[in-house]
Amino acid sequence: MSELSFSEIVAGLQEPTLWRAVYASEEACLQSERPGAFEPEEIGRRAWDRLTEAERADALDSLFYADWENQQQRADDKARWMREGPLKKQLQPLLAEFGVLAEASSPVPYRLVASIARLTHLLMVPCDPSCECPSCSSDRPGGVA
């Protein structure tokens, strides 16, 4: 199982479920009884114990879906990190140079501002690697400059 808490895993469910409501209720009870002195697993076990057998089947489906959704999110996060990492490494020294120039009240060269703007834009555009929009394709070989 992942290192995420159960609450983090089920937080992304689209619709409130009975499981989520029972879990939230048990979390509120534990928070009032022992603020911060409990683990997510304890909340889950207490909530599970409150469910009937029929409700547990639905809750288990919710848990499976939440785990699947968590795996998808992790894959998306990794892909974004892989895309953004090199751009951030390029941006860091440019921002440092900008900071030095600004601190010294020196003029900032256009090429520096343009490079920062280009990299910042690429970091802000949520395109995937197959995107053919002008913003994304301009940074690839054969793209618009």
Looking at residue 83, what is its pLDDT? 83
Cα–Cα distance for residue pair 47/28, rounded to 1 Å: 11
Q: pLDDT-derived band of residue 51, with 50, 70 and 90 as boundaries?
A: very high
pLDDT cut 70: percent of the chain above it: 77
Distance between CA atoms of 64 and 9, rounded to whole angstroms? Answer: 10
- Mean pLDDT, rounded, for 83-104: 93
What's the pLDDT score for residue 10?
66
> What is the rounded average pLDDT for all residues in the chain?
83
Kindly list the domain boundaries of the chain, sorted by start residue: 6-73, 83-137
pLDDT, average across residues 102-106: 95
Tell me the torsion sign for CA atoms 27, 31, 34, 36: positive
The pLDDT score that the predictor gives to residue 95 is: 95
Region 60-68 average pLDDT: 87
Q: CA quadruple 54, 56, 59, 61: dihedral positive or negative?
A: negative
Contact of 6 with 41, CB cutoff 8 Å:
yes
pLDDT for the residue 12 = 64
In the prediction, which pLDDT does 19 show?
86
Taking 50 as the threshold, does the pLDDT of residue 141 lie above it?
no
Q: Give residue for tokens 């394709």.
A: 137
Report which of 29, 69, 32 is spatially closest to residue 45, judged by C-alpha positions. Answer: 29
Q: State mean pLDDT over 62-78.
A: 88
pLDDT tens-digit series, residues 12-49: 655 678 888 899 999 999 999 999 888 989 999 999 99
User: Among 60, 52, 31, which residue's Cα sits nearest to residue 43?
Assistant: 31
